[in-house]
Amino acid sequence: MTAELILGKEVSQEIYGELEARIAALKEKGVTPGLGVVLVGEDPASQTYVRMKGKKCEELGMRSETVILPESTTQSELLAKVDELNNNPGIHGFLIQLPLPDHIDEQAVINAIDPSKDVDCFHPSNVGRMLIGDPDFMPATPAGVQQMLIRSGIETEGKHVVVVGRSNIVGKPMAAMMMQKAKGADSTVTVVHSRTKDIASYTREADILIVAIGKAGFITEDMVKKGAVVMDVGTNHIPDSSKKSGTRLVGDVDFEKVKEKASAITPVPGGVGPMTICMLMVNTVHAAEMADKKRCNQ
Ligand code: NAP
């Protein structure tokens, strides 16, 4: 058996198609959804992500504002920028590109973002609302994984979902989302991490295995149940002398072997990757819709 491939490009195109209509409706009311992105320092990967976000806004006819600050930016300078964006009516949502330089308290900066503009869904108030099943925003990467499951017609209700990894960005919100009483959820969830003993004994029990640890090829064929759905969030650059860059991108799953055992799987690249920006755009449009509704009710 070779697994069905779940491709983020296809799923995201479907979602972008739906977003275009929502953006057009806002524009008819004179509202252009605006996304702000703040980058501190010169991390090359972060620069690429920031460029991609701006380009996607442009493609969708949305406004984007990129703020690039030097590595030496102080915490109070960054907080002042957050305050400015909180009060900018043309920016409906914004995010601070992580990671931040070590001298800045990341959580303090996240806490300063107006929750109604927190399109990364990192603010504790939005995390809490997501946890209780009353979200304004959904965290982009886990929401992308969930949309891939829903739109590929994969049943999640009553299924055993095993999440490998417990970061605040992927693992924890992913687990919280899949246990909700909701469409694309209603699952029984197990979370495993670096302190779990005998990880394979859990992953082998998964109907849906979601992996986000950042270790190339960590999930091998013997760790996967036959017919499982495998969602690989990991992105790892490994040496490859045949490539001009000298590296190639792989996931946390041994794709070639596992695809022969799984019923459906996301490749890396081309799987979960394109979904993160897509769900960020969904959150930004939602933020603009919320701001417009609030304005109309005033
Ligand atoms: P992270 O913050 O480094 O967290 C990694 C998690 O994996 C931690 O919970 C850690 O456990 C766990 N872990 C590490 N080694 C492990 C091991 N040997 N066995 C079991 N668990 C282990 O990473 P992240 O931000 O969640 O990202 C995870 C991966 O997803 C990375 O490759 C990242 O690049 C990728 N990612 C991709 C996208 C996308 O758009 N496709 C978005 C976000 C992240 P402890 O908590 O015990 O340390």
Specify the CATH number for the domain of residue 164: 3.40.50.720
Contact 215, 206 (CB under 8 A): no
Give 36-92 pLDDT, tens digit per residue.
Answer: 999 999 999 999 999 999 999 999 999 999 999 999 999 999 999 999 999 999 999
Q: How many whole angstroms from 235 Cα to the centroid of ligand 1? A: 9
Given a cut of 80, whether residue 1 has pLDDT beyond it is no
Q: Are residues 175 and 109 in the same domain?
A: no
Is the CB of 274 inside a 6 Å radius of any atom of ligand 1? no
Active site residues: 53, 97, 120
Taking residues 280-292, report their average pLDDT. 98
Is the CB of 237 inside a 6 Å radius of any atom of ligand 1? no
Q: How many whole angstroms from 210 Cα to the centroid of ligand 1? A: 11
In a domain, 9, yes or no: no
Taking residues 247-267, report their average pLDDT. 98
Between 1 and 185, the more confident residue is 185
pLDDT of residue 265: 98
Specify the CATH number for the domain of residue 112: 3.40.50.10860
pLDDT of residue 135: 96
In a domain, 294, yes or no: no
Q: Are residues 173 and 266 in the same domain?
A: yes
Is the CB of 203 inside a 6 Å radius of any atom of ligand 1? no
Of all atoms in ligand 1, which is nearest to the CA of residue 218?
A: 18
In a domain, 39, yes or no: yes
Of all atoms in ligand 1, which is nearest to the CA of residue 196?
A: 20
Examine the fold and report which residue of 64, 81, 116 is the final residue of a domain before the chain moves on.
116
In a domain, 40, yes or no: yes
In a domain, 288, yes or no: no
Given a cut of 80, whether residue 185 has pLDDT beyond it is yes
For the chain, how big is the Rg over CA atoms in Å? 19
Q: How many whole angstroms from 233 Cα to the centroid of ligand 1? A: 9
**Residue 150: CA count within 13 A, CB half-sphere:** 16
Q: What's the number of domains the chain is made of?
A: 2
Q: Are residues 153 and 264 in the same domain?
A: yes
Is the CB of 7 inside a 6 Å radius of any atom of ligand 1? no
Given a cut of 80, whether residue 157 has pLDDT beyond it is yes
Q: Are residues 46 and 107 in the same domain?
A: yes
113 pLDDT tier (thresholds 50, 70, 90): very high
Q: Are residues 206 and 247 in the same domain?
A: yes
In a domain, 199, yes or no: yes
Taking residues 172-194, report their average pLDDT. 98
168 pLDDT tier (thresholds 50, 70, 90): very high
Which of 46, 121, 174, 233 to mutate to test ligand 1, by most ligand atoms within 8 A of the CB atom? 233
User: What average pLDDT is seen over the chain?
Assistant: 97
Cα distance between residue 147 and residue 226, in whole Å? 23
Which of 56, 120, 167, 215 to mutate to test ligand 1, by most ligand atoms within 8 A of the CB atom? 167
- 290 burial type by CB count under 10 A (0-12 exposed, 13-18 middle, 19+ buried): middle
Cα distance between residue 286 and residue 137, in whole Å? 8
Q: Using a pLDDT cut of 70, give the percent of the chain over it.
A: 100
Does the pTM exceed 0.95? yes
pLDDT of residue 209: 99
Q: How many whole angstroms from 85 Cα to the centroid of ligand 1? A: 30
Q: Which domain holds residue 200?
A: 140-273
Nearest Cα to Cα of residue 59 among 17, 90, 96: 17
Q: Are residues 252 and 160 in the same domain?
A: yes
pLDDT of residue 298: 84
Give 88-104 pLDDT, tens digit per residue.
Answer: 999 999 999 999 999 99
Q: Using a pLDDT cut of 90, give the percent of the chain over it.
A: 98
Taking residues 211-240, report their average pLDDT. 98
Give 119-154 pLDDT, tens digit per residue.
Answer: 999 999 999 999 999 999 999 999 999 999 999 999
Is the CB of 209 inside a 6 Å radius of any atom of ligand 1? no
Which of 50, 97, 174, 213 to mutate to test ligand 1, by most ligand atoms within 8 A of the CB atom? 213
Given a cut of 90, whether residue 268 has pLDDT beyond it is yes
Q: How many whole angstroms from 268 Cα to the centroid of ligand 1? A: 15
Q: Are residues 164 and 234 in the same domain?
A: yes
Q: Checking DSSP bridges between strand 208-211 and strand 160-164, what pairing results, if any?
A: parallel
Q: Are residues 45 and 150 in the same domain?
A: no
In a domain, 78, yes or no: yes
208 pLDDT tier (thresholds 50, 70, 90): very high
Is the CB of 166 inside a 6 Å radius of any atom of ligand 1? yes
Given a cut of 90, whether residue 15 has pLDDT beyond it is yes
In a domain, 176, yes or no: yes
pLDDT of residue 263: 98
